[in-house]
Chains A and B, each alone.
Chain A
Amino acid sequence: GAVVSQHPSWVICKSGTSVKIECRSLDFQATTMFWYRQFPKQSLMLMATSNEGSKATYEQGVEKDKFLINHASLTLSTLTVTSAHPEDSSFYICSAQGASNQPQHFGDGTRLSIL
């Protein structure tokens, strides 16, 4: 149980395009979803927290207009990297949580490469 699916797993695109990453909780309802960014050989840095039906809460230093997060249902959250540039290349990981006292369940990540 508690499976989180992230799609796509790998994407390459040209500089200036926008990329959407989906995070789905397959067998539970996710009240809260989290988006992380991980640079090579580094730890996960929380980008934003989103609750279903509410605006996402972004961490300090994360551009909300650059990284658009939508959490329209209890099973789906999306992260859109707008006008992506090479410096946005990274590994993006989502996690989903059913209730505040429940553990976060992580997706397998999306490797984004901007040429």
Chain B
Amino acid sequence: AQSVTQLGSHVSVSEGALVLLRCNYSSSVPPYLFWYVQYPNQGLQLLLKYTTGATLVKGINGFEAEFKKSETSFHLTKPSAHMSDAAEYFCAVSDPASSASKIIFGSGTRLSIRP
């Protein structure tokens, strides 16, 4: 079974500061990993995904994440936070060998940006 743990339900950073949202996964097979962002009363938007190949993945809006197999982690970072980054962020995992394409979501981390 696959699972995702997001450390910290709420992260607050100052505008211009580094953003670090933590995600650890559990999977018996090499997983696909995702980060999604959700703005209030909206659906989810894919920020980035890791499937195979390069472990440092660059996404939209200046975000990137690094797949570290030894640490079973896929932390999301952004060098300089912007006010518009305030949202809910979800880390997710799926089994590439599964025909069902199910995505298992973490509990989410709310990112707040201080002026």
Contacts and interface: CB of A to CB of B under 8 A. Distances in A.
B41 A111 contact: yes
A49 B44 contact: no
Contacts of B96: 101
Contact of A93 (B44, B46, B101): B44
Interface residues of A, number: 26
Interface in B79-115: 90, 96, 99-103, 105-108
Given A42-B108, A43-B90, A103-B49, A32 B41 contact: no
A95 B103 CA distance: 11
A93 to B, nearest CB: 5
A5 to B, nearest CB: 10
Contacts of A9: 41
Contacts of B108: 41-43
Contacts of B36: 106
Contacts of A46: 102-103
A100 B44 contact: no
Contact of A6 (B43, B99, B101, B103): B43
Contacts of B41: 9, 91, 108-109, 111
Interface of A: 4, 6, 9, 32, 34, 41-44, 46, 49, 57, 91, 93, 95, 97, 100-101, 103-109, 111
Interface of B: 34, 36, 41-46, 49, 90, 96, 99-103, 105-108
